[in-house]
């Protein structure tokens, strides 16, 4: 599994809990005694790919610092106040879920479980949805030499977590932010043309000004633009909203002089035809901006 920055996770989770008023949960404070114990289960209600267990656990830990995450059932000591999350044996981020799969048991003081429930579920459902959408796209191109990658079309503040979920689903990541690489898009080209520059001259300007360690990627929408970009020395040509036939023609013309990336309107239904055009990369913003949350519930059994 890819690494998560746990300090970042704790910060994001803390902000989400504060947004939700979890530390002043008036409903739980007025209806559930602090000494009441309980248990709950995380239950998958549809098929998909699990992602975000460490983030969900961090939500409970922020509300109840005595939390324990275990791969085996732990007995609570008499009068014990800790919360124990027991993962189903062998289950981890990246696992394929079926409807009815019990993901984990949570046992301990009921009040903090209830206060953290919504935030924990929001992260688990959201990230599992991203991982599921990624795996669906990855499966569609199985056996073909193409990479599935995300884009910067992420939920503000959650980019690191959503990119993690893309990796869990079998995909890879595009540049993290605007400082990570040069990507000359249509509006950059339009700004250059307004100053009388050609596409080649815009590329030359980027090459002269950017660090030598960064690739120059250029978005194009036609065969002619693709040829101008590769002739000007672009490292990656992004073929935007082209048909598979148009992509295949561009790939043949580029002939390995640059990497080729297909983007725009990518779905599980058309991904294989696009991959068969010979492109090296397929990028999809829908992996993060449109992935439906996976239906997962937390069901309480009060004691």
Any residues with CB less than 8 A from the CB of 94 and at least 6 apart, and which?
A: 1, 49, 50, 51, 131, 168, 169
> Of the residues 118, 175, 215, 227, which is catalytic?
118
| Surface-to-core class of residue 105, CB atoms within 10 Å of its CB (0-12 exposed, 13-18 middle, 19+ buried) | middle
- Tokens 């919360």 found at: 83
Residue in 290, 294, 276 with CA at minimum distance from that of residue 143: 276
Question: For this structure, is 135 an active site residue?
Answer: no
User: What spatial distance separates the first Cα and last Cα of the chain, rounded to whole Å?
Assistant: 36
Annotated catalytic residue 19: no
Helix (H) or strand (E) holding 218: strand 216-220
- Which listed residue (93, 235, 240, 280) is catalytic? 240
185 is catalytic: yes
The SS3 of residue 281 is: strand
Give the separation between CA 194 and CA 184, rounded to whole angstroms: 15
As a whole number of angstroms, the distance between CA 197 and CA 129 comes to 43
Rounded to 5 degrees, φ, ψ at 240 are: -95, 120
Are β-strands 147-149 and 281-283 bridged in parallel, bridged antiparallel, or unpaired?
Answer: parallel
What span, in angstroms and rounded, lies between the C-alpha atoms of 218 and 197? Answer: 15
Q: Which candidate in 11, 45, 185, 257 is catalytic?
A: 185
- Please pick, among 82, 153, 159, 175, the residue that the annotation labels catalytic: 153
- Cα(86)–Cα(74) distance, rounded to whole angstroms? 8
In angstroms, the Cα distances linking 210 to 151, 214, 220 are 21, 7, 20
Who contacts 152 (Cβ-Cβ below 8 Å, separation ≥6)?
Answer: 159, 174, 175, 177, 178
Active site (catalytic) residues: 118, 153, 185, 219, 240
């Amino acid at each position: 599994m890819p690494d998560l920055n746990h300090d970042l996770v704790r910060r994001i989770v803390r902000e989400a809990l504060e947004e939700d008023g979890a530390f002043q949960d008036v409903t739980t404070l007025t209806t559930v005694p602090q000494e009441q114990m309980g248990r709950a289960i995380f239950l998958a209600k549809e098929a998909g790919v699990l992602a975000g267990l460490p983030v969900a656990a961090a939500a409970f830990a922020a509300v109840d610092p005595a939390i324990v995450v275990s791969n085996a059932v732990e007995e609570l000591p008499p009068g014990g106040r800790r919360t124990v999350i027991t993962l189903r044996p062998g289950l981890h981020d990246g696992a394929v879920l079926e409807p009815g799969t019990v993901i984990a048991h949570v046992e301990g003081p009921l009040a903090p479980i209830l206060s953290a429930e919504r935030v924990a579920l929001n992260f688990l459902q959201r990230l599992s949805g991203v991982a599921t959408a990624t795996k669906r796209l990855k499966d569609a191109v199985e056996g073909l030499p193409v990479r599935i990658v995300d884009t910067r079309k992420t939920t503000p503040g959650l980019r690191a977590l959503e990119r993690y979920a893309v990796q869990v689903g079998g995909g890879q990541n595009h540049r993290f932010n605007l400082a990570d690489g040069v990507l000359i898009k249509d509006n950059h080209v339009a700004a250059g043309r307004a100053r009388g520059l050609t596409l080649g001259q815009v590329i030359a300007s980027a090459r002269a000004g950017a660090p030598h360690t960064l690739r120059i990627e250029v978005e194009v929408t036609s065969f002619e633009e693709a040829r101008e970009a590769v002739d000007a020395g672009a490292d990656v040509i992004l073929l935007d909203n082209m048909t598979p036939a148009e992509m295949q023609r561009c790939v043949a013309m580029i002939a390995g002089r640059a990497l080729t990336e297909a983007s725009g309107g990518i779905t599980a239904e058309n991904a294989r035809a696009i991959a068969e055009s010979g492109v090296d990369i397929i990028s999809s913003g829908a992996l993060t901006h449109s992935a439906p949350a996976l239906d997962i519930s937390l069901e309480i059994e009060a004691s």
